[in-house]
Structure 1
Amino acid sequence: MTEPRPRKTGSKPIESITFDDIDRQILNILQEDSETPVQAISETVGLSANPCWRRIKRMEEAGVIKKRVALVDQARAKVPLTVFIGVSTSRHEIEWLNQFRDLIDEIPEVVEAYRLTGTVDYILKVIVPDMSSYDAVYKQMIQRLEFSQVNSMMAMEELKFTTAIPTNYL
């Protein structure tokens, strides 16, 4: 039996780390702007720079902070169309799942993908310049794998977008 691909994790188990209000404040600041200087963060949270830096490094090593990225404006990057694709399949073997992962990894327009419970097995978020580009992505998918249903929904308006996650559960 084929095993699922392993997921990347931090070097320390998250369960062995405790978080306090200062850690949450630091995470909230970094989620707002990851380029905020440590000195500015430390002043905001009431620590000196070195202990603040150590807390950030600890959260990076634990995998709580996975990476720091730049957010790109879709319209200015000439990919204004967001399409959500609901995918259903009659195949639920690990081998099929790994093939599906390989497929979506090869398609740069697929920017998010989730395995779901319910009537739809997977949902993909696809970013493209126009409908013909979406059609090319769709054809690439159905030529490589068998799906029982593919349901596409075009986003008309972005009502909320954030990459920040709630930190109050830490």
Structure 2
Amino acid sequence: MPDLDLIDRKIVAELMRDATLPIAQIADRVGLSQTPCWKRIQKLEAAGVLTGRVALADPEKLGFGTLVFVEIEAPNHSVQWREEFATAVAQLPQIMEVHRMAGRMDYLLRVAVPDMAAFDLFYKRLTDAVPIKNVTSHFAMERIRFTTAYPVDTRNR
């Protein structure tokens, strides 16, 4: 992966803040004209630096008021179990993120559900789908800070 220069980092930062900005505004903010700016965005997409453009939604207003972080301890670390687990989590749309971890837990899931009853159904589907040694759930009481933007350095190096 090539190093990103200052202009590339500024473009990425602007798009992470608001992907709906017109090319003209992005170009103006990063000090380019529109065509070179658009070409850089295309290059960043082709290189896999920019992986998509999405709209962020308020989970409460969509009826997903319960956020749960679920720790999973695997019964073993075989290829077969990992594949079964990957298949199971891919079929559960309530799972927003899955991370394989180092440390005391093997996997960490971010799960969005409407309420406790919905989480109970999710839990049963997950544990019926694949053997799990241990499941620990942590319910978020308040979201204090949330961002999808990485802290890209937009200063001159």
| Structure 1 length-normalised TM | 0.88
Instruction: Give the structure 1 partner of residue 122 of structure 2.
Output: 137
Partner of 2:46: 61
Q: How does 1:34-45 map to 2 (within 5 A)?
A: 34-45=19-30
Superposed CA RMSD: 1.1
From 117, 124, 130, the counterpart of 2:109: 124
- Distance in 2 separating the partners of 1:49 and 1:70: 23
**1:107-149, Cα deviation, whole Å (9 max, x unpaired):** 1000011000111000000000000000001000111111111
* Rounded Cα–Cα distance in structure 2 between residues aligned with 1:167 and 1:101: 31
Give the equivalent residue in structure 2 for 1:94. 79
**What's the CA shift string for 1:57-114, capped at 9, x where partnerless?**
0000000000001111101001110001000012101221111111111010000110
Deviations 1:6-37 (A, max 9, x none): xxxxxxxx2xx231111111111100010111
- Partner of residue 80, structure 1: 65
Match of 1:146 in 2: 131
- Are 2:5 and 1:20 aligned? yes
* Alpha-carbon distance in structure 2 between the residues aligned to 1:111 and 1:24: 27
The percent of aligned pairs where both chains have the same amino acid is: 37
Corresponding residue SS for 1:47? coil
Q: How many residue pairs are counted as aligned between the two chains?
A: 154
Runs of 4+ in structure 1 displaced over 4 angstroms? none
- Distance in 2, matches of 1:129 and 1:54, equals 42
Q: In the alignment, which residue of structure 2 is the partner of 1:168?
A: 153
**Match for residue 10 of structure 1?**
none
TM-score relative to the length of structure 2: 0.95
- Secondary structure of the 1:132 match is helix
Following the alignment from structure 2 to structure 1, what is the Cα–Cα distance between the partners of residues 110 and 89? 11
Q: Which runs of 5+ in 1 are unaligned?
A: 1-13
Structure 1 stretch displaced more, 89-98 or 99-108: 89-98
Partners of 1:95 and 1:52 lie apart in 2 by 46
Q: Measure, in 1, the Cα distance between the counterparts of 2:78 and 2:19.
A: 39
1:103 and 1:21 mapped to 2: Cα distance?
A: 41
